[in-house]
Every structure is written in structure tokens, then in C-alpha cells.
Chains A and B, each alone.
Chain A
């Protein structure tokens, strides 16, 4: 179990001889088992923030802490689901999911046990021996999610995981992720530019501004979700019909639009 802390985190890049600030200065706490989504316009640094938690990138100043410890590099306790799936084409579905567990040194029986559990949970039964090139995009992402979850990570990081999928598959995956998250709660940092997706999935939504990326607003979705009992509606289209949902979504859109307007002037 783990929490995420951003303490005055900045990230500067050098491009074409000039230095620019991708992430301007972030202070954020993601509590244990909280699902936080970061939305924002392209280039606002939201993916960079996630990569810093993952250990794939380092802050220029400030600290990123997971479970009270500073992040120095990637590892299975901070599992990542990539937008491009990043499965290994030469491994079967089963082997892809099991790979991380083997690296951790678990015994074969436990590995089989865990992997099979997630295979059935993610609806991949029957595809254990298939290769990634034989699977559709949605199926591949299911494997990637299973691969991350099976590690039983303290923190789950998702970088626009449904961005490469078509609209219908995307909706199905969102529903499944909600079901999974409610059943196996984890600390999740979810990056997306789709506002509806963020409102549907998250407990809190962080809205970031354009470069240099700063937090504009943090919206508490969970309290509204529980009060309006969204979970009573299993279907995503019913939830998205609710007035409270629409209200939240529009509010975030308005905040984001100010970003664009501000730049045009």
C-alpha cells in the first residue's frame, strides 16, 4: 500500500539550445488506494508527472515520493500501463503477464495461480497461448493491465491507456477498469485528455494548465459520486446521463477552455 507525494516538483527540458519548463511546480498528494486522474491540454506535462512517479524520468527540482521514499528508478511496485501496450511480441499472453512475477523470483505454482486468476478476471480465458499480434488492440491492453495488476503493485500508473483504442472498445475498457478498481482498489495515477473518462473513473480529477504545467484545479468527484450513487448504474451511458456527471464534466471543460483562450490572446 502506498501513497504518492509531489513536493514542489519541477521538470525542465533543453530543446534547441533553450530551456523550458514542462512541469512548473507541482504539489500533490495521492492518498493510499485513491484513484486520481490528471487531465490537461497536450504538452501540459501530465505524462511527465506520471513518468517521474514511475521512475522513468527525474524531476529537475523538488521530490517525488512513493510511500515516503524518493523514486530513483522504475520497478514493479510502481506498475505502468503504457499507451502503446508495450507487450513483448515474442511472448505469449501468459508469458507476458507472468514475466514480471518470474523476475521477482516467485515460485511457479504461485505464478500460475496469480496469472490465471487475472486472465479470467480480464476476460482473456482461452487466449493464454496466443501471441500479441493475434490480438485486437483492446485485448492487448487487457493483457497489459493484467500484467500490471498481477504484480500487486503499491501504485498503478496509467498513461492514456485507452488512447490507442477505437471509441467503442474504449468505453468497454472504461467499464471494466471501474469494475476492477472497485474490486481491487489500488493507488492509481491515471493520465488522460478525455474529460469524461477522468470523471467516470476517478476519485479526484486534477486539471493542469498549459506549459509550464501547474495545477489549476482539483475536483473532488468521489463525494458527488457517492452522494448521487453513480455505482447504482452499471452501464456507462447511464452514468454519463446523470445531471451530476454532466455538471462535473462541463465544469472541467470550462476550466480547460480558459487555458486555450488564455493562449490565444
Chain B
């Protein structure tokens, strides 16, 4: 793999690139007006929109209120959903009987994209937070189950036999052999679940919400306010990136080992 740049260039590159992109944006949008501001916002417009939502608020709340609403909702739903998904994955992985029992229902429901549950959630629960929780649950549940299941089944034969030889049984077998072996895949599942949760939340909020990052997008779209749309998108990206990063840190703490 090519990687022959001196390290100082590698450190300088991101900020230089950022600067370059900013300059290009200014040039194309504001100075030369190659792109009409009704199509894509100029940097100044975006900065103004950002200031407005930060201080005055937009769409029923100020920026931090929107962020807190979205992040809190996702965190809660994701945690419950992932926990249940991991639990089911463990049971399905450990017992072929449970796998056979649950699999057909699971396989039937799995191809239905989480976003396709939104209309049903609205029918059942309206536009309240509970509807969003329901859809996020569906989105986050499936990857957790599948990856946990795969992880549990990935325990290699020699290690399984070594555990039997050592007389490891019952709770010790689950908590000190099966589950640790599955941890890398469990975290992969959690990462996928988190991404799915976030996407689904933004979508549900776009469809209808009072508060939240998706609702900013919704309101801005209706008001035909491109700068605010951009502000919304930026914060969607930032929040998503931050949560993924946080999960990555958690993973590094939880898994100090590497496969042999």
C-alpha cells in the first residue's frame, strides 16, 4: 500500500484541504456566483443561518435543543434495542433449537427496510416520540442479532474443545468463553445498529417532528431555506460521526486483545 508522504505533510493536509474547500466555496458561490444562492447557499448565508439557529432558534427550538432531542432519542432507543438484539443473538447462537425456532420469523421480517416501518409506526403511535422509538428499534435490532449470532458461532473448534477439556460449563462458559469470543462481532453489530438508528431517526424526524435535527431539515425544506438545510445536514453528519467515534472508543476499552 502506498504511503510515502512525510508525516508533517500528512498533518498539514487536512487543514489545508479544509481551507482550500472553504476558499473554493466562497469563490464559486459568493464571488463569482457560478451557482445561484437559491440552489446552494453561500458561506455567509450558512454562517448567518447557523448563528440564527444557535441563538434565536429555528423550528421550535434552538440548536442545542434539537441536538439533545435527537441524540437522546437515538441513544435510548439504540441502547435498548441493541441490548435486546445482542441477548437474542446470544441465545440463538448458543442453542440450535432457539435458532430454528426464531429464524423463520426473523428472516421474513428482515428484508423489510426499517424506513418502511415508518408509515406503520405513524398509524399505531402517531407522530410522537414513541413512533420514532419503534422504528429505531426495528432498525437497530436486526444488525445486532445477526452479528452477535455470527460472533457466537465463530468460536473455533480447538478453543471449544479446550474449554470442554478444562471443565468449563454453565455461566462460566457463556461469560468467559462464548461471549468474549463474540465481542469483536458484537461491536461490529453495534456499529451497524448505531448507523441504522441514526439514519432512521433523521428519516422519522423528516417525516414529522416538532424537535430534532430532522425537523430542522423538514422545516427548512418547507420554508425553502437552503442555508438552514445545509446547517441541518452539517450537524446530522457531525452528530453521526461523533457517536460512531464514541462507540469506537468504547470498543477499544472493551476489547484489549486481538485474535491470535
Interchain CB contact under 8 A, A86 and B162: yes
What is the bound-complex CA distance between A75 and B165, given in angstroms? 4
Interchain CB contact under 8 A, A90 and B164: no
Chain A neighbourhood of B176, CB < 8 A: 88, 91, 99
Interchain CB contact under 8 A, B181 and A90: yes
User: Measured between C-beta atoms, what is the minimum distance from B137 to chain A in Å?
Assistant: 30
Interface residue range, chain B:
20 to 34
Chain B neighbourhood of A167, CB < 8 A: none
Chain A neighbourhood of B257, CB < 8 A: 89-91, 131-133
Chain B neighbourhood of A102, CB < 8 A: 172
B169 within 8 A of A: yes
Q: Report B81-124 CB contacts with A as 1/0, cut-off 8 Å.
A: 00000000000000000000000000000000000000000000
What is the bound-complex CA distance between A73 and B166, given in angstroms? 11
Q: Of A76, A84, A89, A133, which is within 8 A of B167 by CB?
A: A76
Chain A neighbourhood of B161, CB < 8 A: 56, 74, 80, 82, 86
The total of Cβ contacts below 8 Å across the A-B interface reads 78
Give the number of residues in A that approach B within 8 Å (Cβ atoms): 29
Q: With A74-B161, A90-B183, A99-B176 in contact, do A85 and B260 touch (Cβ < 8 Å)? A: yes
Q: Report B147-179 CB contacts with A as 1/0, cut-off 8 Å.
A: 000000000101101111111110010001100
Q: Of B165, B166, B259, which is within 8 A of A89 by CB?
A: B259
Q: With A73-B164, A133-B258 in contact, do A103 and B172 touch (Cβ < 8 Å)? A: yes
B6 within 8 A of A: no
Chain B neighbourhood of A99, CB < 8 A: 166, 168, 176
Q: Report B244-260 CB contacts with A as 1/0, cut-off 8 Å.
A: 00000000000111111
A104 within 8 A of B: yes
User: Measured between C-beta atoms, what is the minimum distance from A164 to chain B in Å?
Assistant: 11
B173, closest chain A residue (CB): A103
What is the bound-complex CA distance between A156 and B259, given in angstroms? 27
Chain A neighbourhood of B43, CB < 8 A: none
What is the bound-complex CA distance between A79 and B162, given in angstroms? 9
What is the bound-complex CA distance between A89 and B176, given in angstroms? 11
Chain B neighbourhood of A89, CB < 8 A: 257-260
B residues in contact (CB < 8 Å) with A: 156, 158-159, 161-169, 172, 176-177, 180-181, 183, 255-260
Leading 6 A-B pairs by shortest Cβ distance: A86-B158, A100-B166, A90-B180, A86-B162, A133-B258, A74-B164
